[in-house]
């Protein structure tokens, strides 16, 4: 049986660089579908293209307008292919409305010197922490098994915006670049944690840098990912949040940075 994630990110090629996609109610969020699965759809489409070179290295996706439930179209454009990396741009529309724009970089993995300088936060095994139950309106969150170490949603304001948790697809699914893309966006807006309440908020721009190779992700399998995120500054209606995702062996799989809009509740 096909995993719900794979069914949702499946986009049909309808031209040399054009794809037809459709949202899934299973990944609905407060206003639009979960942005992480939308970004994963873009990554899967780029990877599937016969001209794609290697694996994802970077993705920047700008959410221009709310994506409604239903059909949407994705247009890819190759910009340049070098010996070891390749640059793409993309736009997406629903009807006449532009809803997404961005760029993707693919590349070939090469044998070079390496060092995992980023260190994972301290954590016991995933089973040491209970599964967190998100509120009903966050439909998309039911597709993930989230076990918070620190920084779970609470009814009281927090002095720090850091959340650290073990997370994986529910039901479990082998990790690949589209799934890693979606995981990079599973951090709820940091303002929720600082204010101790929900408020209007949404991602404006999301960037993911992929450090793990295809083989490293295959070796990771269905295991939990150790994810941690925090914000840098809140104010003037926006904030940024930065995240890191580690394998269970401490290997850094991806880093992510996003700009988030928020509005004080009236």
- What does the pLDDT look like over 17-68, one tens digit per residue? 999 999 999 999 988 999 999 999 999 999 999 999 999 999 999 999 999 9
- The residue behind tokens 């994802």 is 56
Report the CATH number that the domain containing residue 243 is assigned in CATH: 2.40.160.210
Structural domain includes residue 81: yes
Assigned domain for 115 exists: no
Measured distance CA(187)–CA(25) in Å, rounded: 20
Work out the pLDDT band at 266, boundaries 50, 70, 90.
low
3-state secondary structure of 171: coil
User: What span, in angstroms and rounded, lies between the C-alpha atoms of 188 and 163?
Assistant: 9
| Cis peptide bond upstream of 162, omega within 30 | no
Number of structural domains in the chain: 1
Q: Give CA–CA dist 212/248, Å, rounded.
A: 13
Asked whether the whole model's pTM tops 0.75, one would answer yes
Q: Does residue 26 fall inside a structural domain?
A: yes
Average pLDDT value for residue range 91-113: 96
| 209, part of any domain | yes
Q: Which residue range is the domain that position 69 belongs to?
A: 4-109+123-262
- Contact predicate 225/246, CB 8 Å: yes
Residue 114 located in a structural domain:
no
User: Pick from 75, 105, 71, 80: which is nearest to 90 by CA?
Assistant: 75
Residue 117 within any structural domain of the chain: no
């Amino acid at each position: 049986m096909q995993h719900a994630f794979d069914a949702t990110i499946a986009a049909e090629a309808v031209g040399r660089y054009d794809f037809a996609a459709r949202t899934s109610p299973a990944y609905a969020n407060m206003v639009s579908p979960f942005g992480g699965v939308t970004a994963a759809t873009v990554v899967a489409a780029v990877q599937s293209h016969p001209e794609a070179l290697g694996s994802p290295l970077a993705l920047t996706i700008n959410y221009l307008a709310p994506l409604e439930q239903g059909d949407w179209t994705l247009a890819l454009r190759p910009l340049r292919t070098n010996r070891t990396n390749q640059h793409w741009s993309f736009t997406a529309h629903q009807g006449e409305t532009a809803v997404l724009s961005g760029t993707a970089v693919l590349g070939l993995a090469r044998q070079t010197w390496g060092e995992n300088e980023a260190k994972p936060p301290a954590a016991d095994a995933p089973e040491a922490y209970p599964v967190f139950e998100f509120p009903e309106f966050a439909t998309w969150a039911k597709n993930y098994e989230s076990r918070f170490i620190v920084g779970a949603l609470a009814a009281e304001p927090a002095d720090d915006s850091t959340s650290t948790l073990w997370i994986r697809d529910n039901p479990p699914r082998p990790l690949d670049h589209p799934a890693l893309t979606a995981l990079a966006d599973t951090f709820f807006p940091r303002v929720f944690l600082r204010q101790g309440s929900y408020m209007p908020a949404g991602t404006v721009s999301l960037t993911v840098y992929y450090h793990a190779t295809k083989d490293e992700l295959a070796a990771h399998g269905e295991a939990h990912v150790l994810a941690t995120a925090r914000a840098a500054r809140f104010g003037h209606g926006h904030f940024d949040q930065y995240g890191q995702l580690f394998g269970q062996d401490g290997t850094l799989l991806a880093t992510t940075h996003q700009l988030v809009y928020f509005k004080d509740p009236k």
